[in-house]
Amino acid sequence: MLNETEIERRLSAYGDFLLKRSLVASGKETFFIHWVRKYLSNEASFKGVKWEEKLPQFLDKLATEPKIAAWQIDQADQAVRLYFLNFYTSEQLVTAKTGGGSNKDAPGLYDATQALADLREWMRIKHYAYKTEQSYLNWCKRFFTYSVQCKGGGESGNEVHVSGELIKDFLSHLATQRKASKSTQNQAFSALLFLCRHVLHVELKDMETTLRSKIGKKLPLVLSPMEVKTLFSNVSGTNGLILRLIYSSGLRLSECGRLRVKDLDFDQGLLFVRSGKGDKDRSTILAAQIQPELQVHLARVRKLHEQDLADGFGEVYMPGALDRKYPSACREWGWQYVFPSTRLSVDPRSKKTRRHHVSETTIQKAMKKAVRDADLVKPASVHTLRHSFATHLLLNGVDLRQIQDYLGHKSVETTMIYTHVVKNMRNPAISPLDLLDQMTKERR
């Protein structure tokens, strides 16, 4: 057990560490110090070998004390974890360095501009999606800004420090200061892991497994058939057609946007998704009810395409190397987007002027407005329609494996989550409160 002098020395350094790394707001560090002091003072009374095993016992003991709220217990949990995961390791490294030992995890200086350029090139070599590329670049820029705030920049003003410890502190900063969700923290870590592994060649040791936040299983939000009908009655035009197509075929929003004319098979009632999530192709249902409206829509789109050709445009983005293999295919009708944008735009990669597909933001706004106009209390998004598609098929007795194929899930376990929703919708149990009167009558 540590003596009081050693505890206070560490806690003073811990408070400075929290403020320097921007892990807590100024003035809040005293609360974190308080909880760690309480933990260290009672550490010997907890059974267990490692701090991870002692922490639950400490939190359980706090819960029994009067005047300690649940949010304070969460704060104590966070304080102790920051102490051991972030501060304690850093202090050991500093001690090793000042004592003459080697510091293999000491931060290195890297050119930020060159690192971002190399990151972009690597992601294009590996054929990452454009949105993923932009997301990863944004996270790395934010990390570099954080690094400069904590460690300062190099002499050139464009150099930044990068190390495993700084990455660990940055993720903690996202959790404590920015209140980021677990999925957001994992996305940030994936971006930094890619940067360290492929661009900077920084060794992160076992951080790949220890720094990822564990996300519990959540039931998907699903609309009832009547709610879906009410929703669609409050949206019309092309936006309404898109939302009905997403629901009727179980599409992701991005898959619907990238849909080409050639991917619609009206004769067989099929819709083909090309290079979906995981770069997989699949086929799904093309509802008969939506086909007449879809054909009228395609007639309008074809006239727009013909006008673009007459104006010297009419090209569309071609995947992979198809634009070089088939130079004229980008102007063919079959390759055009089913839902094109209302205006021409410049491709950010090729710099060519083209008509891209409709913006995802436009569809999301249309969905939000339809939910509001339909007076639905559920916070439904466009992806909720995909969840509703799968759930309603299960309610109608469609085989789970078939639904898995329609959705493009790699594992049937992913699809099985909808069985829990169906169980609640199909045969809901009767609450004991509703049975009280009946039970009373039977006893009489």
Which pLDDT band, with edges at 50, 70 and 90, does 201 fall under?
A: confident
- Quote the pLDDT of residue 106: 44
3-state SS, residue 256: helix
Which fold would CATH assign to domain 108-210? DNA polymerase; domain 1 (1.10.150)
Q: Where are the beta strands (DSSP E) in 239-342?
A: 264-265, 270-273, 282-285
Retrieve residue 91's tokens. Answer: 């202090």
Q: For 228-425, which CATH superfamily applies?
A: Intergrase catalytic core (1.10.443.10)
In this predicted structure, what is the pLDDT of residue 104? 41
Q: Out of 386, 387, 392, 406, which one is annotated catalytic?
A: 386
Catalytic residue among 14, 83, 146, 418: 418
Lowest average pLDDT, out of 262-266, 387-391, 422-426, goes to: 422-426
Q: Give pLDDT, residue 4.
A: 72
Is 47 considered catalytic here?
no
Active-site residue identified among 168, 354, 392, 409: 409
Determine whether domain 4-98 maps to CATH 1.10.150.
Answer: yes
Mean pLDDT over the full length of the chain = 86
Based on the residue annotation, tell me whether 161 is a catalytic residue of this protein: no
Residue 207's pLDDT band (cuts 50, 70, 90)? confident
Q: Is 409 a catalytic residue?
A: yes
Of 81, 277, 331, 368, the catalytic one is: 277
pLDDT at 100: 40
Domains 4-98 and 228-425 share a fold: no
Q: Which pLDDT tens digit goes with each residue over 38-55?
A: 888 777 666 666 777 788
Tokens 């209140």, residue located: 179
Catalytic residue among 61, 212, 331, 383: 383
Whether the pLDDT of residue 424 is over 70: the answer is no
Nearest to 14 by CA among 98, 123, 111, 91: 91
Q: Which of 41, 105, 31 is nearest to 75 (CA)?
A: 31
User: Which of 253, 254, 264, 140 has the alpha carbon at shortest distance from 192?
Assistant: 140
Question: Annotated catalytic, 252?
Answer: yes
Question: 34, 81, 252, 274: which one is catalytic?
Answer: 252
**SS3 state at 339:** coil
Q: What are phi and psi of 264, to 5 degrees?
A: -100, 125
pTM of the full predicted structure?
A: 0.72
Decide: 384 and 411 in contact? Cβ < 8 Å.
Answer: no
Give the count of beta carbons closer than 10 Å to the beta carbon of residue 88: 14
Winning range, highest mean pLDDT, from 12-26, 89-103, 226-240: 226-240
Active-site annotation holds for 386:
yes
Residue 90 clears pLDDT 60, i.e. is over it: no
- Looking at 55-69, 91-105, 134-148, 176-190, which range is the least confident one? 91-105
Known active-site residue 383: yes
Domain extents in the chain: 4-98, 108-210, 228-425
Report the SS3 class of residue 184.
helix
159: helix, coil or strand? strand
Q: Which of 361, 20, 23 is nearest to 180 (CA)?
A: 23
